[in-house]
Amino acid sequence: MDKDLSRRKFLEHLGLGTAAGVSLSLLNKLAEARPAAADPLPSRTLGRTGAKVSILAFGCGSRFLMYEQEDQALAALNRAIDLGITYLDTAYAYGDGKSETRVGKVMATRRKEVWLATKIPDRSYDDFMRRLEGSLKRLQVDQVDLLHIHSLGQANDLEKIEAPNGALKALLHAREQKMTRFIGMTSHTNGAVMAQAIERHDLDCVQMALNASRNGRFEELALPAAIQKNLGVIAMKVTGQEFLLGNAAGKADIDSLLHYSMSLPVTTAVVGMPRIEMLEHNIAVARSFSPLKEDEMERLRHALSPSREGLEHNLVGHLDGPTTTPHAFFA
């Protein structure tokens, strides 16, 4: 798709406008009906937190913001909860608080039904605490279930976080003050640095890029470190921002990618779903999930290995933005 395609035309192409695809009125009807899921989604224990959450999590990042009209976004989020998703992943960086504001409007009535996680990007103690106070207000809660330091980068970034007045001090303080029940870090950059953070600090959870290309060596280095300490592990970048989706060499279909990440020793997989049919499809995959055998996982690793370097390059300085490959999901 032409990268200069206007946002409006792009959204219409996705079927997110009221004139195409799933209409706003239909989404609202789905939200109002609030049917119970036919079968509950499988759940797993989130490490040392002891909480049980659905193996599929609703990503409230750029794909959630692609529901351009707020009513559509709220209806989609309500639909996800209706269908059994109990883990919501948001962050201040998603629209400079726009995602948190949307999630907060749903939390006003459905807070007890979900595990709520948000992420703070700031690296200094004072900036982190100020940002967190704003996040809690936007989310309309006094406490989140899980608070992450957002997007750990290379070793020099970990040094900033670990500084005497860095973000780690703020993260620990937020847990002590019960602004959050549990704490963690996220990364899609460097598995070795993430492993160092896990080994050095008293985290409860970690969220990292875990997909069949094995970009960043998270599966090889950081995942074992997290399992060793019984941390809750949340997989993200399951499709590599759609970079891994398709029919070409080094690509795979959404079902295979979901099955791969969910077959790892993780609790849940965060996926952005900017179309209601994507939500419905992924729910069906999760509901009928059975883990891949090791030989099946190895075949996927081999098939996706040509994409590893390219994905690592794409994620350097990555900012979560709209997809330019909407059809890749169903390729």
Average pLDDT along the chain: 88
- Quick one: pLDDT at residue 317? 61
**What pTM was estimated for this model as a whole?**
0.86
Could you read off the pLDDT of 73-101 as tens digits, one per residue? 999 999 999 999 999 999 999 999 999 99
Q: What is the pLDDT of residue 327?
A: 42
The answer on pLDDT for 330 being more than 70 is no
Note the pLDDT of residue 159: 98
Sort 153 into a burial class: Cβ within 10 Å, 0-12 / 13-18 / 19+.
middle
For residue 166, what are the β-bridge partners? 124
Cβ neighbors of 298 (< 8 A, separation 6 or more) are none
Q: And the tokens for 8? A: 């409006």
Question: Per the structure block, which two tokens stand in for 102?
Answer: 């949307």
pLDDT digits (tens, 9 = 90+) for 187-210: 999 999 999 999 999 999 999 999
Segment 9-57, tens digit of pLDDT: 333 433 443 333 344 444 444 445 455 445 689 999 999 999 999 999 9
Name the amino acid, one letter, at 230.
N
